[in-house]
Amino acid sequence: MAPHDQLPLHRSVLFVPGNRPERFDKALAAGASAVIIDLEDAVAPADKPAARAALAAWLRPEHAVIVRINSQDTPWFDDDLALAAAPGVAAVMVPKAERADTLAAVVGAGARALLPLVESAAGLAGLSTLAAAPGVLRLAFGSIDLQVDLGLKDATEDELLPFRLQLVLASRLAGIGAPLDGVSTAIDDEARLVLDVQRARRLGFAGKLCIHPRQVAVVNQGLAPSAAELDWARRVLAAAGSAAGAAVAVDGKMVDKPVLMRAEALLREAPSG
């Protein structure tokens, strides 16, 4: 696995239905870090062959995307795997990820990278195995399906907090990229989206799944370091560099190794340009 500062940026990751090829280019122009062409939940069973064919015809190396395939327990899984190695498929999102052998089958089909979607009790139970599987870039949190699988009724974010932290911990222990948080379903509730993004960043998520282009800018802004944070990080590194190993403080707080590491991480996360 590449060092974290060399991983692809996955701040906002936008879903687009696989049966709407007229939206593919529009999704790429929406400003998201990455686009997921969805062959699973967004496509009705009768439309899946046509959606797969439309995606295969559209794929090009110059507009790389992630493809969410159908799960292994469906009749569409094997046919979807034919797209795993296609030019322009940067990664495959594996839904209902629960077992390492499923991920191995996707890698065996030529997938360049994997994003396992953890959305069941079995997936949670196998987190360490999933995170350590060859080819896994990041985990993603399927919060909606997980609530259904666990029988959570009217769950609030408090009930989901332990599961989010499990994904962050498993990712760190496996040495892979920080995970992607689940979707916010209220498309028109920007205030709620802002709170969701703030929580994701506090918990250590690298990015967030988006279901509408209008969510992208809010997610990008909320997960990027603020100007104040970047200014602090630069001052920390400058002070440490000038101290030549001596104790130094910035804003009245001692600068030790964890503080330096945090400052370096913030600067790596800074938007380019």
Has residue 79 got a pLDDT over 80?
Answer: yes
pLDDT reported for residue 238: 82
Domains and CATH numbers, the chain: 4-223 (3.20.20.60), 227-268 (no CATH)
Tokens of 271: 């938007």
Has residue 41 got a pLDDT over 70?
Answer: yes
pLDDT reported for residue 27: 97
pLDDT reported for residue 6: 56
Residue 150, class by beta-carbon neighbours within 10 Å (0-12 exposed, 13-18 middle, 19+ buried)? middle
Which run of H or E residues covers position 16? strand 12-17
Tokens of 73: 């327990």
Contact 144, 186 (CB under 8 A): no
pLDDT reported for residue 7: 66
First to last CA, the chain: 26
pLDDT reported for residue 273: 42
**Residues paired with 16 in a beta bridge:** 37
Model confidence over 217-273: pLDDT tens digits? 999 999 987 677 777 778 878 877 887 777 788 888 888 888 877 777 777 777 654
DSSP labels for 112-132? Answer: S-EEEEE-SHHHHHTHHHHHH
pTM: 0.87
